[in-house]
Amino acid sequence: MYDLPDENPEEEYLPDQYHGRQPGILDDTFKPSNYSPDEIFTAADLNLYYDVRHTNWYKRPDWYAVVGVPSLYEGHDLRMSYVIWQEQVSPFVVVELLSPSTEDEDLGRTVSQRGKPPTKWQVYERILRVPYYIVFSRYTNEIQPFRLVGGHYELMTPTDDQLYLVPELGLSFGLWQGIYKGVNRIWLRWFTESGEMILTPDEEAAAAQEQAAAAIAEAAAAQQEVLAAQQEALAAQAEAAAAQEQARLASERAERLAAKLRELNIDLDDLG
């Protein structure tokens, strides 16, 4: 595996923490229902080479996913880049994180110059024909998702839950307000096609802890119920024993009284 040379005169990207964490939550929640993990490759800020005639031309999406390829290069190695003419499979979805300096390029408002690399939009739409292209601005929290229809990108329409469906993968995507890696903000993340949130590993661990705590509390409550029932049974047994003892004592008193009356030659029947 090799990496091709970097030569991109139009690149102005400077990495920051957000460009590490936003792709992270996309990675953690991208779980297509019809592909196993070893058939999925995702990458953030990894060179994507798209033209065998110009081997030094590439784009570097903020995040992208490919399905139907080995998660590891040739099944055993980490990729240093993604080379279309080697892999033979284009990304299924590309995400660009909008910034003021990249807005025109990300949204297809720029025009390529003769002899220069094509624009992002041209590469994703016309060369790679990426089915889903998502542009998200952390500054305005605006999402602009596009779907390839008839060879051209069309803006997608959200569901009533403000999610965007990707039925080919059994997924949907949308915005979510919450804490990821200690940061509370609006994140772009993946959901199931029916709209259920796909949990990150941290969320799965927290949910498992909550379930365990709930199970422990339920078991403790059940144990308390058993103890209460046992105490009630013991109380009932004690009450029955006391009643039995009272009956025995009453019987003994009656016997003594009868014996005393017989000593006095008094017939109990005559007393009636």
Find the radius of gyration of the CA atoms of the chain.
37
Residue 4: pLDDT band by 50, 70, 90 thresholds?
low
**Domain definitions of the chain by residue range:** 18-198, 199-272
Q: What CATH topology corresponds to 18-198? A: tt1808, chain A (3.90.1570)
Q: Residue by residue, what is the 3-state secondary structure of 20-72?
A: HHHHHHHHHHCCCCCCCHHHEEEECCCCEECCCCCCCCEECCCEEEEECCCCC
Q: Is 203's pLDDT higher than 80? A: yes
- For residue 79, which amino acid is it? R
pLDDT at site 23: 97
Q: For 32-69, what is each residue's pLDDT tens digit?
A: 999 999 999 999 999 999 999 999 999 999 999 999 99
Q: For 230-272, what is each residue's pLDDT tens digit?
A: 888 888 888 888 888 888 888 888 888 878 888 887 776 666 5
